[in-house]
Amino acid sequence: MTQAIDRTATTDAPILDVLAERFSTRVFDPDVAIDEAALASALEAARWAPSANNTQPWRFIVTRRGTDAFATVYDSLRDFNKAWAGDAAALVVAAATTTTEDGSPMHFAQYDTGQAVAHFTVQAHAAGLATHQMGGFDRAAVTSEFNLPESITPLTVIAVGALGSLDDTSDEVRARESAPRTRRAIGESVLVND
């Protein structure tokens, strides 16, 4: 019997279902190709994220399982990420343009790229795709392999695809996927609430 994965958050205040239900899985179906329409919608959602002075510093490298580009991104992953991320239908590198054409720093570039990635992940979830962001990858290798200029900094790799079955995972992945979802209390995050 296939084990279902339901990771809906228990929240202290009501939030949108799409936010409560979204979680970062490590379980992807290795036999399902990327839903191109859902991926296009996720990229479109990222496109419409807010940014300082409308600079839109985000850049994406979109790779699909079975391509050389996917293998390049997969090879850049570190440690435990390699044990499960290869089953994703796509690996997407999110990068930020951190300087202007004259070399001046774009101070909000990483923040704004984070907003674009958040839009991407929420839209992906709403469209039936599962996602997981990873910081454990070799940024220098991605920069070199994709010939990125100095002004573009890779920030994260997002595994994207159809949700898989817990039955087909290792004990370590199954344990991580089954662990309770936790967040610190909102009072610990809000420094002033006057």
Question: Is the residue at 16 inside a domain?
Answer: no
Question: Is the residue at 104 inside a domain?
Answer: yes
> Is the pLDDT confidence value at 124 over 60?
yes
Question: Is the residue at 65 inside a domain?
Answer: yes
**pTM (whole model) above 0.75:** yes
> Is the pLDDT confidence value at 2 over 70?
no
> Is the pLDDT confidence value at 3 over 60?
no
What pLDDT, on a 0 to 100 scale, did the predictor assign at position 37?
98
CA dist 174 to 25, 29, 91, 164, Å?
Answer: 10, 14, 21, 11
Which range, 18-22, 90-94, 182-186, is most confident? Answer: 90-94
* CB neighbourhood size of 129 (10 A): 24
> Is the pLDDT confidence value at 16 over 90?
no
pLDDT, tens digit, 9 for 90 and up, residues 36-95: 999 999 999 999 999 999 999 999 999 999 999 999 999 999 988 999 999 999 999 999
Which secondary structure element, helix H or strand E, spans residue 96, and what is its range? strand 90-97
Which string of DSSP letters, residue by residue, matches 133-181? EE--B-HHHHHHHTT--TTEEEEEEEEEE-B--GGGS-HHHHHHHHSPP
Question: Is the residue at 102 inside a domain?
Answer: yes
> Region 131-139: what's the mean pLDDT?
97
What pLDDT, on a 0 to 100 scale, did the predictor assign at position 175?
81
> Region 28-33: what's the mean pLDDT?
96
What pLDDT, on a 0 to 100 scale, did the predictor assign at position 5?
66
Q: How far apart are CA 160 and CA 41, in angstroms?
A: 13
Range of the domain at 57: 33-161
Output 167 or 116, whichever has higher pLDDT.
116
Question: Is the residue at 192 inside a domain?
Answer: no
> Is the pLDDT confidence value at 26 over 60?
yes
Q: What percent of the chain has pLDDT over 70?
A: 97
What pLDDT, on a 0 to 100 scale, did the predictor assign at position 24?
84
As for how many domains the chain has, the answer is: 1
What pLDDT, on a 0 to 100 scale, did the predictor assign at position 36?
98
What pLDDT, on a 0 to 100 scale, did the predictor assign at position 4?
52
Question: Is the residue at 138 inside a domain?
Answer: yes
CATH number, position 80: 3.40.109.10
